Structure formats: structure tokens, C-alpha cells
Amino acid sequence: MTINMNVHAEIVRGLPKQILIDGKFVPALSGRTFQTFNPATGEAIADIAEGDAADIDLAVAAARRAFTGPWSRFTPFQRQQCLLRFADLIETHFDELCVIDVLDMGVPISMMRARKQRALGLARFYAGLVTTIHGGTLPNSFPGEVFSYTLKEPVGVVGAITPWNAPLTSTIWKMAPVIATGCTMVLKPAEDAPLTALRLGELLLEAGVPEGVVNIVPGFGHTAGAALASHMDVDKVAFTGSDFTGRKIIEASKGNIKRVTLELGGKSPDVIFADCDMDAAVAGAGMGVFANSGQICCAGTRLLVQRPIYDEFIERVSAYAKSLKVGNGLDPETQIGPVVNAKQLDRVAGYIDVGLGEGAQATVGGKRLTEGALKNGYFFEPTVLSCVTNDMRVAQEEIFGPVAAAIPFDTLEEAAAIANDTVFGLGGGVWTTNVSTAHRMAKAIRAGTVWVNTYGGLDPVVPFGGYKTSGYGRESGVEHIEAYLETKSVIMKLG
């Protein structure tokens, strides 16, 4: 398959690469830039303005002015129209946005195209919620004539920090509720994949969102991210990323006790019962691990397989892993792309060494791919580790790579105990043809989302988030909107 790099280079040349503050793209105050790389080739693709604390100060000030300025007088209908125009622009430029994600973080173009409904659905779902935001009248027991009611008001300036593993959808996921509720925001995209967020900021301005409502400051976590999380004029932080950084966000929020929602990591169990549809479970559980090279927070990386089918399932899922085409994400035939950078590649390889040292066996994969066109990229083979016990590090720690750890079990009760024996609780899966088993296991797994006879699908109407150290708060669903609103009670004596 021919990949036209000239066309893709032209797309990158036309993208904004500076900081978006108060409706204008400007250089960082420091004058510094950093490079973003194509993980399929290892080549630098753009120099990005490197924002830090001073830029965050300017962006927060712009967001505060917008919050108290004309944006505060936008009606629900006007905010809804902004989001609908934004969705239309995403649809118009979707092919371009797909290419940007592929170049910046390596996801296969086929996977990006499959995300079209989700990307558009998110923007239009929140547009639909705008006119449903309301308070209510409340009965009370005060003596005399006393009227009580509630108002729903935007929380204020939101600091949003997004991950690199799904730039398009994760950025829309942060932007849309801000616009829907009448908040304003400062967004710090991940330094490994900042281009999509900057392009979406450009599209929001084109959609009619006023200057200063959305500000975007690319930079590094320990500078720009830390400044945003601790800023005294930020009212809420919405963060997606690792549990390690999530703890730092909580610490940083204490200064003004800002609202915090966290969507953090996972080590999700995917439980395969002996009565499952084997063909469906092999493909579904396999891609539940390997999709996006395992760089999905809710990836089902612990395969809990009932003992009567353990050997057969491991053999078949290993063959499935070996059949997947690994390559440059711009090739439509590619199923598995690279991991995001050299550091992540070393992390994945290091965990393989750890697992083998603990007694696990690699039934397939386990190595970096360096042949031919893959030699300069950050490619790792889809890997299945068998002979794993749940106390091993490869079963307890988030690898964030295409690595499955397979653990046998006998009974439903044992499967539930293994599934919940983790500090995480983001997702889980169940494969069975028994309705009773499906319901019992779905209830037993302590996680924010449990998929049954499927894995990993997300829908804007269905809330998503974690238990335990996988975070708190929910994204999607009506629950998401509530996290961006304050409830004000009004008690009024009449007469």
C-alpha cells in the first residue's frame, strides 16, 4: 500500500503549532519549542510552542475574562448551536483529523475511521444536553409562604489535561461539556500528541465559540500541567492519565480546594468461561488487549480463562495475535501500529523481562519489531504471557502495551476474587453463553464498566469511569455534565 507522505506533510505544515490564548495563536513567552515525533518512523514532524507557568497564567486570565464576559450571556440555544457547528466541522475535516492522530501517536488509520461515529456522537450528544440543564422547584417545611428552588450554574474555569493515546476523542470529551455548561477552559494536551488539540481549538473558533472560552497550552506535565493543576483561579481540573499523575493532581488541587475528576489507569480483567462462543471470545478478547497497541486505559490485559479451555484458548489467542498485521498506521491494512515513543517501547520490553523472570512464558511475541520498514519505529509484537499468577507484576501493573497476561481459574467465585485483586477498577469483561453467569459476574466485578460478550465499546450516553485507583467522576452520560455544574439553592420568603 502506497503512503503519500507529501500529502501528509502538507497537512502538518498547515496546522497551528503555537499556544492558543484569547482566540489567537501566539508563541510561548519563553520562546522555547519542543518536537513531536512520528512513532512509526522515529522522525520529528513538528516544532510545538512549549508553554509553561507564565503561559498558563495568561490562559487562565483569558478564560476568566471570557467566563464573566459575553460568553456568560450566551443562551442555551446559542451554546447548542456552537457545539452543532463544531460537530459539523469535525465531520468536514474528519479525514484530516484522522491523519493527524496517526502521524502524532501511531494509531492505525482503520481504527481512526471506525471512531468517526464516536467523535461526532460526543459533540452532538453534549449539544443535545445543553437545553436539558435546569434546576427545580422544591417543597419545603418553612412556616408561612416560602418558595424554594435550585439553579444550575457553570463551575467556572476548567483546567483540562488530556492523554496521548486517543487525541481526537479524548480532546472532544473534555471540550464538549465545557461548551455545553457555559464553563471556560485551559487545555494542556499531552506533549507526545498535541497537534489534534490545537486543530480542534481552531475549529471551535470557526464554530463561533468566543475568544478565550477555550485556550490551549501545549507543554510538559511538570511545568505547564503542574501550573494548571495548582492554579488558584482554576475552579475544576479534569484529568485523564496515569494514577501516579492523578495523585499529583489531587495534591495540587488543595490550594483552593478545586473540583477534580480523574479518569486514570487500569488492569482490567477479561473473564472467559468454558461455555463461551470461542471464536467471538478469541477475537474480542484479543483486540481488547491489542487494539491501539494496548495503549487503552481500560484494555482487558488480564485474561482470566476457565481451566477446561485454558490451553485451547491460549493457543488460539496466540495464533490470533500472530496473525495481526503490525505496521505504519497510514497503511489501511495495518491492524496494530507502534507504541507512542521510545520510552514506552522500553517500558513494554522491560515488563516482558520482568514477567519471564517471574516465571511467565511468552506463547507469542515478546520482542521489538525491527525488520524492513519497521526498523526505525517503535513497534512491539502483540504478546501473550501464559503461566501467570495474579501476584506477578505483569498481572498487577499497567504496562500500556500489547501484552496479555493469561491466568487460569476454576469457579465463578475464584474468577471474581482474581478480577478484584487489584488496586484498579476501570473495566472488565465477561464471555459466556449463560445469562445467569453473565449477570452474576458483571455484578461481582468492581469496575466502572463491564462488557459482556464484547469488549471496549463506548457510547456518549453511557457513563465511563473507574472504581478505586482508576479515579473518580464519570465521563459521558448525564453524570458528566453534573461535574461541570454547581447547584445553587434559593429560599425566598413571599409577601
Q: For the chain, which domains are there?
A: 5-264+470-490 (3.40.605.10), 269-459 (3.40.309.10)
Residue 7 exposed, middle or buried by CB count within 10 Å (0-12, 13-18, 19+): exposed
Within 13 Å, how many C-alpha atoms sit on residue 211's CB side? 7
Residue 251, phi then psi, degrees to nearest 5: -60, -45
Q: Which long-range contacts (CB under 8 A, 24 or more apart) does 247-255 make?
A: 249/161, 252/226, 253/229, 255/230
Local structure of 262: helix, strand or coil: strand
Give the chain's mean pLDDT: 96
Q: Identify the sign of the CA torsion 49, 54, 60, 66.
A: negative
| Residue 38 host element (H or E) | strand 33-38
Q: What percent of the chain has pLDDT over 70?
A: 99
pLDDT tens digit sequence for 238-250: 999 999 999 999 9
Q: Do residues 334 and 109 lie in contact, with contact meaning Cβ atoms separated by under 8 Å?
A: yes
What does the pLDDT look like over 16-41, one tens digit per residue?
A: 999 999 999 999 999 999 999 999 99
| 276 a catalytic residue | no
Q: Please report which confidence band the pLDDT of residue 190 belongs to, taking 50, 70 and 90 as the band edges.
A: very high
Residue 9 has pLDDT above 90, yes or no: no
| Among 50, 191, 263, 475, the one annotated catalytic | 263
Alpha-carbon dihedral angle through residues 265, 271, 276, 279, given to the nearest 10 degrees: 40
Instruction: Report which DSSP code applies to 123.
Output: H
For residue 393, what is the enclosing H or E element? Answer: helix 393-396
**What's the mean pLDDT in 271-286?**
98
95-106: average pLDDT: 96
Q: Are strands 361-364 and 383-386 parallel, antiparallel or unpaired?
A: antiparallel
Confidence of residue 8 (pLDDT cuts 50, 70, 90): confident
pLDDT at residue 188 greater than cutoff 80: yes
Identify the H or E element spanning 415.
helix 412-420
Rounded mean pLDDT of 52-69? 98
Among 82, 98, 276, 297, the active-site one is 297
- State how far the Cα of 172 lies from the Cα of 15, in Å rounded to an integer: 18
Catalytic residue check, 298: no
Rounded CA-CA distance 333/324 in Å is 10
Three cell numbers, residue 307? 481451566
Residue 31 Cα to chain centre, angstroms: 30
Please count the other Cβ atoms lying within 10 Å of the Cβ belonging to residue 81.
16
Distance CA(345)–CA(340), nearest Å, equals 8
Question: What is the rounded distance in angstroms from the CA atom of residue 334 to the CA atom of residue 351?
Answer: 25
Give whole-number Cα distances, 379 to 44, 54, 107, 108, 248, in Å.
Answer: 17, 37, 12, 12, 30
- What residues are paired with 431 via a beta bridge? 272
CA distance 458 to 460: 7
Compute the distance between CA of residue 173 and CA of residue 185 in angstroms, rounded to an integer.
13
Task: Provide the pLDDT for residue 20.
Answer: 98
What does the pLDDT read at residue 2?
52
- 1: pLDDT strictly greater than 60: no
Neighbour count for residue 454 (Cβ, 10 Å) = 12
